[in-house]
Amino acid sequence: MTDAGASVPPSRTRDRAATEERILAAVGEVLARDGFAALGVNAIAKQAGVDKVLIYRYFGGLPELLRTWGASGRFWPRVADLLGDDPQALLALPPAERYARFFRHFVDELRRRPLTLEVLAAEVVERNELTAILEAEREAWGDEATRVLGGEAFASRPYLRGATLLLVAGVQYLLLRSRKIRTFGGVDLRSDEGWDELERAIDELARRLFAPPPG
């Protein structure tokens, strides 16, 4: 007879963790291949090679699964991911350098996530309650990023919010464009050299945005 208070065997815990990983991976694969219209428990279960009952058991349902996927860092880089290997060192930098370094990490993370770009492209075309979940995740990300980046510097410079939104949107647009069109304004969007040029521009822009007010 099994002791009701006994812990879950390690093998079972590992099996569940591996199954959850397959399910989460399948969310992105279905989204990128078929779009939001095809995203459902049956499609995800088939892609993951699991019984759909496990999706309800482990995650509670499709909305909860998508929230978990959105918060997992698979789709959108978490703020913690953008602080680098030494978060305290980055946070100790002067505001302009911290801002520029954070954006460089943001660009690098999105560039290495082709699946994210596929999902962003699909999201623009198809809007529904599931896209709203991912939008809410990114809004929360933006609030957290603002706290990390600015603090008092943002409070004293109201224009920083709009400038930051334009930078975030601009990076996304250029990366989405690069899927089909290689250059924009003479910059090669598929090369490290092209993005190095854009990142140097962000460095200079950050210095100007955070410069002391005249007088």
The ranges assigned to domains in the chain are 10-71, 79-209
Q: What is the pLDDT of residue 28?
A: 87
Task: Label each residue of 30-41 as H, E or C.
Answer: HHHHHCHHHCCH
Does pTM surpass 0.75? yes
**pLDDT, the chain, mean:** 87
Could you tell me if residue 35 is left (phi over 0), alpha (psi between -120 and 50 degrees) or otherwise beta? left
* Helical (H) or strand (E) element with 139: helix 129-149
Specify the CATH architecture of the domain 10-71. Orthogonal Bundle (1.10)
Measured CA to CA in angstroms, residue 179 lies from 44, 111, 153, 197, 198 at distances of 25, 11, 35, 19, 17
Q: Quote the CA–CA distance of 65 and 75 in Å, as a whole number.
A: 13
Q: Which residues pair with 183 in a beta bridge?
A: 188
> What tens digit of pLDDT does each residue of 120-161 get?
887 888 777 778 888 888 888 888 888 887 767 787 888 888
The secondary structure of residue 4, as a DSSP letter, is T
The predicted pLDDT at position 1 comes to: 45
**Residue 74 φ then ψ, to 5°:** -70, -40
- Of residues 173 and 14, more confidence is placed in 173
Instruction: Write a three-state SS string for 7-73.
Output: CCCHHHHHHHHHHHHHHHHHHHHHHHHHCHHHCCHHHHHHHHCCCHHHHHHHHCCHHHHHHHHHHCC
- Over residues 7-46, the pLDDT tens digits come to 556 666 778 899 999 999 999 889 888 888 888 999 999 9
Q: What is the mean pLDDT of residues 39-61?
A: 94
**Residue 166, token pair as written in the block:** 């334009």
In this prediction, residues 171-176 reach a mean pLDDT of 95
As given in the structure block, the two tokens for residue 173 are: 């647009």
